[in-house]
Amino acid sequence: MKSYNDYMSNISVDAELHERIMNNAMQKPAPLYRKRAVYRYAGLAACAAVLALCVWAIPRSWINPAENLPNNPAVISSANPQSQNDEQNAIVSEIPSDSDSDTIFPGFRDEEFPLALNMAESLMQASRSWPEGFFYQQLTEEQLSAVLPNLNLTLAATAFYRPDGTLLTVTATETHTQGMADAPVMVNEYFKRTEIQLGEGEIVEDCVMLIDGTPIVSDVFGIPVEAYMSEWDNDTVYFQAEFMIDNIAYRVKLYDSMIAGELRLTGIVNDIIYYGAADLSGLGDPVMPEFRNDALTLGEAQGDPDYGMLLPKTVPSRFVFESARRFINQDANGLYVLWTVGLDTLRWSISKATDYDFERIVSADEREKYDMSLYPIPWAQSVSGELREYVLYPVFPAEELTLDIVKARAYHADNGQVGAPGGNMDFSVLYGEVIISVNINGMSPEEVWEMFTGLSY
């Protein structure tokens, strides 16, 4: 396909309209999704003219029938999408029934339905209410093609399942934004990427847009769409669109600048609806992973065949056993035990080491990576970015752990004093493929060291 500028240069419009469109194209980055004509930003009068011309500009020898394009699709736009007065601000037009709008150029939509963007008063983020024991699997390329066919996006997708194996939701995230290297970077690249969620009947809520009044609803190929925008700092806008196709609920989310973001959202929503509802049949019959979430007594924890031998044989007598839990899912496999006395705590966690754990291994001679006396509070100011993960969460090989290292990890949050009794400590110790992580308040370094020296592994 032609580039955006080439396409706009060759549309047969009058000189004044052509100049206005080209000036706008030179000032704004090209759309970051499938490259297509842009109808909306030369004003409402120009919008209708360009729409009509684009339909007739496609050579008739290229046109093939398409059954899923409505005979008279309604095009809804808004001169002031923040207003709730549909009669004054929403413009509805119909494509003539005797036109060729019921046919398309193969692989390319000949129509793009604009979205009425409702200005959100606020954006409410909520934790997804995942059921206990949910699990997930990564989609293959074949599965992804069935779920989101023909999208010109580079996506990676994950299917989430309920404990009984029924599908909960699918989340597809853009792994590379087209044109990002050439477009002005106004926000972090990650936040400019697109996320598409879908599920049977509904999507587990995680992002609710709150507006004043009833939202304006757009009609895209006969499907009602609610689209929202929320302005952030640094010229960044959050966009979200929600719609339903054949009982498949969709939510499209992205961050971008005002113009580029609206173009991307409009194009993605049009593509999804045009190519039809997702085929979720290929996501059935997932492999059921092991899941465990059991509360244990201290005796049961000490007798755990996988990790019991890495619990301390004794703890300071003033500490009282509080709880123990054996937990297994796709991401974690561990034993977690808590002792307390007043406000002081001893958290002892044993689990399989991850790649992230191996990346944080430090040696005794790398004091800049673990000695808390080198970094006064607040650490956000005193610890450099390249050392922060090491300093805050160091992992020591078991054979290198010493009392001197433990003393170097102890500090008082109120004055930053290091090595004093009753201090705070956070660090991990690696035993082969297993890691012990401790979070301690109210113990001396000597008491902590004694617990580690008593371990048998």
Q: Convert the pLDDT of each residue in 215-264 to its tens digit.
A: 899 999 999 999 999 887 667 888 999 999 999 999 999 988 889 999 99
In this structure, are residues 46 and 17 in contact, taking their beta carbons and an 8 Å threshold? yes
In this structure, are residues 95 and 72 in contact, taking their beta carbons and an 8 Å threshold? yes
> What is the pLDDT, as a whole number, of residue 454?
87
> What is the pLDDT, as a whole number, of residue 132?
78
> What is the pLDDT, as a whole number, of residue 331?
86
Packing angle of the helix pair 15-27, 44-57 (nearest 10 deg): 100
Within 8 A by CB and 6+ apart from 380, the residues are: none
- 3-state DSSP call for residue 5? helix
Can you name the residues that pair with 356 across neighbouring β-strands?
Answer: none
Closest CA to 139 of 158, 154, 153, 155: 158
In this structure, are residues 261 and 254 in contact, taking their beta carbons and an 8 Å threshold? yes
Within 8 A by CB and 6+ apart from 162, the residues are: 131, 133, 134, 168
CA separation, residue 161 to residues 71, 155, 242, 283, 289 (Å)? 39, 20, 21, 10, 11
> What is the pLDDT, as a whole number, of residue 392?
94
H or E stretch at 48:
helix 44-57
Residues of the chain with pLDDT under 70: 1-109, 122-130, 176-192, 205-209, 233-234, 412-422, 457
- Amino acid present at 457: Y
Q: Where are the domains of the chain?
A: 1-289, 292-453
- Amino acid present at 217: V
Can you name the residues that pair with 168 across neighbouring β-strands?
Answer: none
Rounded distance between C-alpha atoms, residue 404 and residue 393, angstroms: 17
N- to C-terminal Cα distance for the chain? 64
> What is the pLDDT, as a whole number, of residue 430?
97
Please report the DSSP string for 353-372 in residue order: --HHHHHTB--TT-GGGT-G
Ordered strands of the 423-431 beta sheet: 292-295, 320-328, 333-341, 344-352, 434-443, 423-431, 395-397
Rounded distance between C-alpha atoms, residue 255 and residue 189, angstroms: 9
Closest CA to 165 of 285, 329, 24, 316: 285
In this structure, are residues 54 and 12 in contact, taking their beta carbons and an 8 Å threshold? no
